[in-house]
Amino acid sequence: MGNYISLTVKNEGTIPIKMQKLAVNNPNPEAIKVFGINNSDMIIFPGKDSTLAMCFYVLEGAEQNSTYTFSVTSSATQWNY
């Protein structure tokens, strides 16, 4: 079973935002697999929030007692009806 990460994005502005695809920087693909990221074209209206989720696995290639990191970034653009 994988490890799950969820995060909540809240639009505290006055204009709807359109989420762009999350970008993953995984410098250790032999040790960690990140997947399940699908939030592109999600629109979040002012005062509302939305939860995003992703999954990652530690693979057989990972060494014991080691630390591995990856980063996830997101951006949003103004969305006008």
Q: What is the pLDDT of residues 33-80, one digit of tens each?
A: 998 776 667 899 999 999 888 889 999 989 999 999 999 888 888 988
Domain count within the chain: 1
Distance CA 72, CA 29 (A): 14
Residue 35 forms beta bridges with which residues?
55
Predicted local confidence at residue 38, as pLDDT: 66
Predicted local confidence at residue 16, as pLDDT: 96
Predicted local confidence at residue 39, as pLDDT: 67
State pTM to two decimals.
0.73
Predicted local confidence at residue 73, as pLDDT: 85
What are the tokens at 15? Answer: 């204009």
What are the tokens at 26? Answer: 């995984």
Better-scored residue on pLDDT, 77 or 2: 77
Query: Which residue range forms the structural domain that includes residue 18?
Result: 3-78
List of residues 6+ apart from 60 with CB closer than 8 A: none
Residue 79 forms beta bridges with which residues?
none
Residue-wise pLDDT for 18-28, tens only, equals 988 788 899 99
AA letter at 14: T
